[in-house]
C-alpha cells in the first residue's frame, strides 16, 4: 500500500489527559459525542471494553465497512487505531487502510495538548488522486476534533 494522505492536527482540549484519553478509548460510546456523518457511521462490533492493544471493532460507514484494531493503548499518553476495508473502484479492487494516532500531554495553561495523526493508505494507482482524497478527508478530521473539544463543555 502507498501512503496517499498524511494529516497532523494540534488541539487544546479543556480536560485532563486522562479524561480525554478515556473518552477516545471508549469506542462503544462514541455516539455520545460523535454523531454519524458521510464518513463515520458508527460502531457495529467491539471485541472488548475497556479497549487495549489488540481490541478489534467494526465501523459501518455509509460508503464502506471498516475493520479496526487498537494497535497502541498507553493511558493517558497514546492511543492508535488501524482500520482497513476493501472497495471496488469501477473494475479495480482497492484495499484501503487508515491509521489514527492520538498523543496527549498536560497543557501548561491547563487541560490537554492533543496531537492527532491521520494517514490514509491505498493502492499505488490512486496516487494521482491524493489531493482530492486529502480534500475529502480533511473536513471529517476537523469535525472530530471540534466535537471532541465541545464534548467537554464550555
pLDDT digits (tens, 9 = 90+) for 101-112: 999 999 988 899
- Decide if 16 contacts 153 (C-beta within 8 A): no
Q: Architecture of 2-150 per CATH?
A: 2-Layer Sandwich (3.30)
Instruction: For residue range 9-33, list pLDDT tens digits in order.
Output: 999 999 999 999 999 999 999 989 9
C-alpha cell at 119: 494517514
Highest-pLDDT range among 8-12, 37-41, 44-48 = 8-12
Q: State the maximum Cα–Cα separation within the chain, in Å, rounded to a whole number.
A: 53
C-alpha cell at 72: 497502541
Cβ within 8 Å of residue 108, ≥6 positions away: none
CA distance 54 to 58: 13
Does residue 62 carry a pLDDT above 90?
no
DSSP designation for 78: E
CA atoms in the 13 A half-sphere facing the CB of 15:
16
pTM beyond 0.85: the answer is yes
Instruction: For residue range 120-140, list pLDDT tens digits in order.
Output: 999 999 999 999 999 999 999
CA distance 40 to 147: 13
Beta-bridge mates of residue 102: 79, 116
CA distances in angstroms from 34 to 56, 94, 104, 148, listed in the order given: 19, 27, 19, 8
Residue with cell 455520545: 32
- Taking each continuous run of H as one helix and of E as one strand, the counts in the chain are 2, 7
Does residue 39 carry a pLDDT above 80?
no
Amino acid at each position: 500500500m502507498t501512503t496517499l494522505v498524511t494529516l497532523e492536527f494540534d488541539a487544546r482540549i479543556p480536560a485532563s489527559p486522562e479524561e480525554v484519553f478515556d473518552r477516545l478509548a471508549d469506542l462503544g460510546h462514541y455516539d455520545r459525542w460523535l454523531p454519524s456523518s458521510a464518513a463515520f457511521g458508527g460502531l457495529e462490533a467491539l471485541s472488548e471494553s475497556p479497549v487495549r492493544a489488540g481490541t478489534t471493532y467494526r465501523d459501518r460507514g455509509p460508503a464502506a465497512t471498516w475493520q479496526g484494531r487498537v494497535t497502541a493503548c498507553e493511558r493517558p499518553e497514546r492511543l492508535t487505531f488501524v482500520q482497513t476495508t476493501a472497495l471496488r473502484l469501477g473494475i479495480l479492487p482497492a484495499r484501503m487502510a487508515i491509521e489514527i494516532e492520538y498523543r496527549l500531554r498536560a497543557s501548561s495553561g491547563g487541560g490537554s495538548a492533543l496531537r492527532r495523526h491521520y494517514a490514509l493508505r491505498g493502492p499505488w494507482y490512486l496516487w494521482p488522486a491524493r489531493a482530492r482524497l486529502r480534500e475529502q478527508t480533511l473536513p471529517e478530521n476537523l469535525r472530530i476534533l471540534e466535537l471532541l473539544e465541545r464534548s467537554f463543555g464550555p
